[in-house]
Structure 1
Amino acid sequence: MRIAIIGAGIAGVTTAFELSARGHQVTVFDRCGSVAAEGSFANAGIVAPALALPWTMPGWPSLGAGRSFGWQWQRRRAAQDKNAAAAHENLFKLAQFSLQRLQTLRRSLQLDFERTEGQLVLLRTERELKQIQPGLDRLAQFGLSAKLLSAEECRAVEPGLNPDQALHGGIHLAQAEVGNCRQFAHQIRVAAQRLGTQFRFHTTVRSISPGTPAQLVHEYTPPTEQPGPSTRYAESKDAADTHPAPHGPQQDSFDAIVVCAGTGAAALLQPLGIKLALATLHGSSLTAPLRQLEAHPDLGPRAGLLDQATGISISRIGQRIRLCQSGEFDASPRIRPAAMTQMHKVLDDWFPGAMQAGQLQQWRGSQVHLPDGLPLLGQSGRSGVWLNLAHEPSAMLSWTLACGAASVISSQISGDQAGADIPATTGLELSRLAV
């Protein structure tokens, strides 16, 4: 089959690989100049099935501040739907499958990207533990180990934790990883190209038309100027390795079109009568090299942490440290000084002096999600058009579902969704929204 993928973020590039591995002829279109150039560029790099649980569970875990009361009300109302429990269980199973698929790809393709294992949720007070207890009970129902640690045990897992910072305890998630999402995306892109995938960078998809075959209108849109360090993202100059593109709108036909366009999805789908209540949430991160002191080998984190009180994550990315705050409705592309201040404070609370601030990289990216907090995965109800969208409501967790969702939708398009290892996606399809 000839298949087009719109979007070369972590969802799009993994979907391209999975479809190419099944023998399809795949072309990926992206408005940027490289893979993982927007919402996947400098995210927290967390792959943690436990954190895929809906945040409407009391206190488990907070994904950051900035959500409006109206949006919270919509999410809580969605969680009360009679089918919500089954959908959330399928989401959780998909997240578990996604982690397993990531690990399989890493081994089979011999990928060498920056990564560590484990996630620690830090609890400053006993009250925070009581707040997340319903979430812990839910994890136990799903059969996932989430070990409650004392403050001393937390410091044994992460010896660099500030001994002077108040710490009640923590939750250790052994079934989790943290790593360089962008680096992984580039390596999967190379693997997909070896299988024949073509990438059309700096190419904007103007419209899609359902049918057999489906139609796609795209246009080469090279940037007028290169983004500087103060912009919301940076990108590699990868467009030169694709085929030269003619100017003006071009139309192509495909047996299937997979929309992985993130923030660009609504404009493409609305003309098809698919009107989604997609909200755009913005996440910010700061990244800098870890300070290296021979007398203090554990000055920074060993793996991934989440500060439950603030919803800010702390990730070890190779020899760098990254803090990420997400879930802001503020539409400004600029990083808020208050967000930077809070991330610096959290770092100073837990790992004072760990970052070389003189080489600091700031980033702001966008994610889309729906009021029920669930992704859109599967058929669109329009012939030849498929959806792989809204994986997570934050820049912190956008990697968690990517590998699993890519495998699932590739199986569905290929007609072999009955595979024993493919999890059910009931409740995650567009049909639940009745659009």
Structure 2
Amino acid sequence: MIPQELLKSTQKQVVVIGGGIIGLSTAYFLTQAGHQVALIEQHRNVAEVSTLGNSGMLATAATTPWAVNGMRKRIISGLFSQEASTILNARLSPSLWRWLLRWTSKPELQRYQLHMERMQRLASYSQEMLLQLQADHQLDFEQSSGLLQVFRTEKEFAATAPLQALMTERNVAHRVLDSASVQALEPALHTARSVAGGLYFPELASGNCTLFTKQLKSIAQASGVQFHFDMRVDAIDSHDNQVALRIGGDVLHADAVVVAAGTGSAPLLNNIGLKVPLRAVKTYTVTAAIKNYEVAPKLALQDDAYKVTMARLGERIRVAGIAELGARDTTIDDKALRTLLKVTQDWYPDAANYHNAQMWTGNIPMLADEVPLIGATSRSNVYVNVGHGGSGWSMALGAAKIVADQISGRSPEIDIDGLTLARYRR
């Protein structure tokens, strides 16, 4: 319990913009710190955009940048393939091409490891927050333990050697498996598809992110967070130690604001002179009801070749992946659908009714280096919590706690080097 005399000196009126897992987590930790918190969301409820299509992965050790060595070659080859993990929806957009060049520039091992270390530092901290939250509130969000990463070729498997060394150095619990060991660990894995090897992470987890977010909403609401739905913040400005938010014809004043609006964050930040390389990347999920439990996955699975994941969500399987670049709508791309269905047919062909599955596609916010951007900005009392990409849930709670600590005048509990706006000023 926070002493009342301390509350009087530190309590602030804080507005959080965005009702996804990032914004809601931020609102939760702010109210736990004793602040008066209002969350503004332009949709009718929390978790209605990118959180709704979350992959379900809570994979701390597997939180790594998408862009790896050979990323440009992968994108180009995908133009001529029936299936691809990355789809370029080519358009004459100079800003897209600049972002692509930055995203795929110099993905050498040292740079990759630097970005991975930053992501995993935040994800590990987030996992600590999740365990505490579960202990405090006994949450049940269809969670299960264990992640199996499979490799189709010896070349793919051998390329993980530096990653294995880094995980060993960081004491990440994992086992290196040959083909027979993969099959023994996950007997339901379809034997017609050869497996070169795998990595097993016993402490990693998966679950229903939408269910988790709605449970967290109930907790936050009981703690005092005020929710305002069907409201859109058009612009923000900071002056005289306060922040003004323009909502339609009205102006709302607060002591601080946190921009956590996903892909909608960029226009708000541009409005106050903060330009960050935030790009909307279209991604996909297929969610299917299990029909044969004896051949359904027991573990979460990640296919390294296609960057596709499969997670068990109670009575359903969620298949997620694909990064479509340059898309301006939410139509289903045939190549993306073929890729997701290929992975399901390769590994668990008889487990679920895939062709009667629920399809979802939407945009996730991704920065060019794929590392989230969190914390204070150069504008007084304006904070950001954006750019978590496809690993949003894995990093959400840790990022939210850091922002809440900063607003409360406390030092974050982990090193935040490389996670703030300072990395763009070097």
Regarding TM over 0.5, the answer is yes
Distance 1:160 1:48, change over 3 A: same
Question: Of 208, 218, 222, which aligns to 1:180?
Answer: 208
In the other structure, the counterpart of 2:118 is 90
Question: Of 374, 380, 384, which aligns to 2:381?
Answer: 384
Question: Of 86, 99, 120, which aligns to 1:65?
Answer: 86
Give the deviation of 1:346 after TM superposition.
0.9
Matched ranges for 1:4-403 at <5 A: 4-58=15-69, 64-66=85-87, 71=99, 73-77=101-105, 88-211=116-239, 212-219=241-248, 249-292=249-292, 297-331=293-327, 332-357=329-354, 359-392=356-389, 394=390, 397-403=391-397
Deviation digits for residues 101-129 of structure 1, max 9, x if unmatched?
A: 11221221111111111111111111111
Distance 1:174 1:284, change over 3 A: same
Structure 2: which amino acid aligns with 1:405? A
Give the deviation of 1:133 after TM superposition.
1.9
Distance 1:176 1:72, change over 3 A: farther
In the other structure, the counterpart of 1:229 is none
Partner-residue secondary structure (3-state), 1:210: strand
Give the deviation of 1:76 after TM superposition.
4.7
Q: Is contact 2:257–2:383 with CA below 8 Å preserved after alignment?
A: yes
Distance 1:55 1:134, change over 3 A: farther
Distance 1:124 1:81, change over 3 A: closer
Deviation digits for residues 346-382 of structure 1, max 9, x if unmatched?
A: 1011011111246411001211222122110110110
Question: Of 421, 427, 430, which aligns to 2:418?
Answer: 427
In the other structure, the counterpart of 1:417 is 411
Distance 1:59 1:20, change over 3 A: farther
Structure 1: which amino acid aligns with 2:87? G
Distance 1:358 1:339, change over 3 A: closer
Counterpart Cα distance in 1 of 2:68 and 2:298: 28
Partner-residue secondary structure (3-state), 2:86: coil
Give the deviation of 1:208 after TM superposition.
0.6
What is the aligned-residue identity percentage? Answer: 31
Distance 1:59 1:150, change over 3 A: farther
* Structure 1 range deviating more: 379-388 or 369-378: 369-378
Give the deviation of 1:209 after TM superposition.
0.7
Partner-residue secondary structure (3-state), 2:360: strand
Q: Is contact 1:377–1:428 with CA below 8 Å preserved after alignment?
A: yes
Partner-residue secondary structure (3-state), 1:190: helix
Deviation digits for residues 190-248 of structure 1, max 9, x if unmatched?
A: 000001101111110011111311111124xxxxxxxxxxxxxxxxxxxxxxxxxxxxx
Structure 2: which amino acid aligns with 1:279? R
Structure 2: which amino acid aligns with 1:35? V
Partner-residue secondary structure (3-state), 1:364: strand
Structure 2: which amino acid aligns with 1:407? K
Aligned pair count? 395
Counterpart Cα distance in 2 of 1:78 and 1:349: 33
* Structure 1 range deviating more: 353-362 or 97-106: 353-362
Give RMSD over aligned pairs: 2.4
Counterpart Cα distance in 2 of 1:182 and 1:381: 33
Structure 2: which amino acid aligns with 1:183? L
TM-score (norm 2): 0.87
Counterpart Cα distance in 2 of 1:268 and 1:12: 15
Counterpart Cα distance in 2 of 1:298 and 1:381: 56
Counterpart Cα distance in 2 of 1:358 and 1:333: 19
Stretches of structure 2 that go unaligned for 5 or more consecutive residues are 1-11, 75-83, 91-96
Structure 2: which amino acid aligns with 1:136? Q
Give the deviation of 1:93 after TM superposition.
1.4
Counterpart Cα distance in 1 of 2:354 and 2:110: 49
Q: Is contact 1:210–1:385 with CA below 8 Å preserved after alignment?
A: yes
Deviation digits for residues 258-313 of structure 1, max 9, x if unmatched?
A: 00011111111112111122111111011011014xxxx43111131111111111
Structure 2: which amino acid aligns with 1:266? A
Which of the pair is proportionally richer in helix? 2
Q: Is contact 1:78–1:372 with CA below 8 Å preserved after alignment?
A: no
Counterpart Cα distance in 2 of 1:327 and 1:59: 15
Q: Is contact 1:305–1:313 with CA below 8 Å preserved after alignment?
A: yes
Q: Is contact 1:79–1:372 with CA below 8 Å preserved after alignment?
A: no
Counterpart Cα distance in 2 of 1:307 and 1:59: 17
